[in-house]
């Protein structure tokens, strides 16, 4: 998959889910936007979990651990470049190693992720 295809297929979803890694708790509007974007992409919960663990968390966790000022001034274009670069290299041993260590990279946002999944399940009429 080339960079433009990644941006076209995942870009809006990645940007919608990025607030999960902010130093503040996501607002109701953030969660509503995330749920709407997930529904637009028609992703299963399993696919969504792997997007969270392999595509987003390795890049976003670095920003979460950096100085807060750097995150506030961060722009979408730079974030998209980093996400695309990471995902283009996500093959073979890199994919396996990120899958192995994904518990560490998602640990600080897991409670927010669980909240989002609960809201998504309610939206879909499923029992959380």
- Exposure letters 18-54 (e unless 16+ CB within 10 A, then b): bbbbbeeebeeebbebbbebbeeeebeeeebeebbbb
Residue 52: predicted pLDDT:
96
Residue 45: predicted pLDDT:
96
The alpha carbon of residue 28 and the mean position of all alpha carbons in its chain are separated, in whole angstroms, by 17
Q: How far apart are CA 20 and CA 53, in angstroms?
A: 13
Residue 101: predicted pLDDT:
87
Residue 23: predicted pLDDT:
81
Task: Give the phi and the psi of residue 62 in degrees, each rounded to 5.
Answer: -60, -40
Question: How far is CA 66 from each of CA 13, 43, 56, 77, rounded to the nearest angstrom?
Answer: 23, 30, 16, 18
Residue 74: predicted pLDDT:
59
Domain of 104, in residue numbers: 3-124
Residue 67: predicted pLDDT:
57
Residue 65: predicted pLDDT:
66
Tens-binned pLDDT, residue by residue, of the chain (128 aa):
789 998 999 999 999 999 998 888 999 999 999 999 999 999 999 999 999 999 999 998 887 766 554 455 457 888 999 999 999 999 999 989 998 888 888 899 999 999 999 999 999 999 88
Q: What global pTM score does this model have?
A: 0.86
Task: Give the phi and the psi of residue 42 in degrees, each rounded to 5.
Answer: 55, 50
Domain count across the chain: 1
Residue 69: predicted pLDDT:
44
Q: How far apart are CA 1 and CA 23, in angstroms?
A: 32
Residue 103: predicted pLDDT:
87
């Amino acid at each position: 998959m080339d960079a433009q295809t990644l941006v076209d297929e995942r870009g809006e979803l990645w940007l919608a889910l990025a607030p999960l890694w902010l130093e503040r708790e996501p607002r109701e509007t953030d969660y509503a936007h995330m749920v709407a974007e997930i529904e637009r992409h028609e992703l299963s919960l399993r696919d969504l979990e792997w997007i969270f663990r392999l595509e987003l968390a390795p890049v976003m966790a670095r920003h979460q651990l950096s100085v807060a000022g750097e995150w506030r001034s961060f722009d979408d274009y730079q974030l998209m470049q980093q996400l695309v670069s990471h995902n283009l290299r996500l093959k073979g041993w890199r994919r396996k190693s990120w899958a192995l260590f994904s518990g560490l990279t998602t640990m600080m946002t897991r409670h927010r992720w669980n909240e989002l999944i609960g809201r998504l399940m309610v939206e879909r009429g499923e029992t959380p």
